[in-house]
Amino acid sequence: NWTTTNVVEEQVALIREQVGDKRAICGLSGGVDSAVAAALVQKAIGSQLTCVYVDHGLMRKGETEQVEKDFVAATGAKLKVVDAEKRFLDALAGVSDPEEKRKIIGREFIRVFEQAQLEILQEEGPEVAFLVQGTLYPDVVESGGGTGTANIKSHHNVGGLPDDIEFQLVEPLRQLFKDEVRMVGQELGLPEEIVQRQPFPGPGLGIRIVGEVTKDRLDLLRDADAIAREELTAAGLDRDIWQCPVVLLADVRSVGVQGDGRTYGHPIVLRPVSSEDAMTADWSRLPYDTLAKISTRITNEVADVNRVVLDVTSKPPGTIEWE
Ligand code: XMP
């Protein structure tokens, strides 16, 4: 019979058997799947696991701290944090095209993660043979079911390593659906904010700034996004909406009036959607009072924002994200 306790016990035994006395690496994204996969593997093999978190500087307010502090406190996992903000911002400088941004972020992410893997290999030696991934059942079905290996190329100039390193994959969530993963995460004692986290795209806030991504714009968007999330949570709406992207129209300005004078600021877009699987979505009919509160707070508290607009487009024709 299916209980989270059984799933945890079974997976812990399987992971121990698979990894033996070797070592494993797990990349944390801030999302539910990688956190639960890491927590399971940590329970199974403890300090034989090293987690890696690449801080690309595109996360929402508090999310990096959530990984650094709350995840580590809940699991006791060994964590390597790579501060790559400058590298990502440099690579994104001058780029406005959404696909270009995605490509750059994806490419830099792989490079930084591979570099971190190599450093861990150098520190801990060839015992590091496994890579943990938070693959879920729907991903397995979609990709045809194979389990596999992952390669990294040691093109960086580090001595004593083979040219091509192959990791065996550890995928402890392969039989689980998302809601089951959340239950397992809860059973493992992960914080509610991680376990119940709504979907958030890998490229992060980089694809929620329409226009060039800069540090100032990211900080501004982080503030606006934090206010929207706070108010949605306070209104008890987290379970009603699938996710609510908050988007900065950095290339758009409009005239406003605040205090004593005229302003010429940027609009923030709220994009609350309801959905079953993100393939289709409808815009959420949020209570006007909640929308009013978010709007008032954002325009009062976030400098350079003088307008908050609501996206009332379903998917299709609109996607959930703006880029
Ligand atoms: P769209 O905008 O295509 O988004 O309607 C559908 C769902 O996917 C998320 N999303 C991403 N997730 N990497 C991710 O991990 C990405 O590049 C990415 N782009 C979109 C989006 O937040 C929504 O849940």
> Does the CB atom of residue 31 touch ligand 1 within 6 A?
no
Nearest ligand 1 atom, CA 31: 15
Q: Please count the residues of the chain.
A: 323
105 ligand 1 Cβ < 6 A = no
Q: Characterize 193-206 residue by residue with b for buried, 16 or more Cβ atoms within 10 angstroms of its Cβ, and e for exposed.
A: ebbebeebbebbbb
Ligand 1, atom 12, residue with closest C-alpha: 201
Q: Specify the fold of 4-195.
A: Rossmann fold (3.40.50)
Residues of the chain scoring pLDDT < 50: none
Whole-angstrom Cα distance, residue 233 to residue 228?
9
Lookup: tokens for 123: 């520190």
The pTM assigned to this predicted structure is 0.94
Going from the Cα of 319 to the center of ligand 1, the distance in angstroms, rounded, reads 9
Question: DSSP 3-state assignment of 64?
Answer: helix
Task: List CB contacts of 217: < 8 A, sequence separation 6 or more.
Answer: 209, 211, 248, 250
Residue closest via CA to ligand 1's atom 10 equals 201
Question: Which regions of the chain carry the CATH code 3.30.300.10?
Answer: 208-310
CATH number of 208-310: 3.30.300.10
pLDDT of residue 158: 54
Q: What are phi and psi of 49, to 5 degrees?
A: -100, 135
Contact 272, 220 (CB under 8 A): no
Report the pLDDT value the prediction gives residue 146, as an integer from 0 to 100: 82
Where in the chain does DSSP place strands (E)? 23-28, 49-55, 78-83, 128-132, 149-153, 164-170, 246-248, 254-258, 261-270, 273-274, 282-283, 305-310
- HSE-up of residue 44 (Cα within 13 Å, Cβ side): 30
Does 254 carry a binding-site annotation?
A: no
Contact 311, 320 (CB under 8 A): no
| 31 marked as binding residue | yes
Environment class of 186 (CB within 10 Å of its CB; exposed 0-12, middle 13-18, buried 19+): middle
320 lines ligand 1 (CB under 6 A): yes
Interatomic CA distance for residues 205 and 200, integer angstroms: 9
Residues of the chain with CATH 3.40.50.620: 4-195
4-19 vs 178-187: helix axis angle to the nearest 10? 80
Distance CA(23)–CA(11), nearest Å, equals: 17
| Separation between Cα atoms, residue 51 and residue 41, nearest integer Å | 10
Tokens 């801990």 belong to: 124
54 is an annotated ligand-binding site residue: no
d(CA 71, CA 30): 9
Tokens at 5, concatenated: 């306790």
* Distance set, CA 138 to CA 30, 70, 143, 162 (Å): 20, 28, 9, 34
pLDDT of amino acid 1: 82
Residue 81: which of 109, 46, 123, 116 has the closest Cα?
A: 116
Q: State residue 152's pLDDT score.
A: 83
Sign of CA dihedral 135, 50, 115, 100: positive
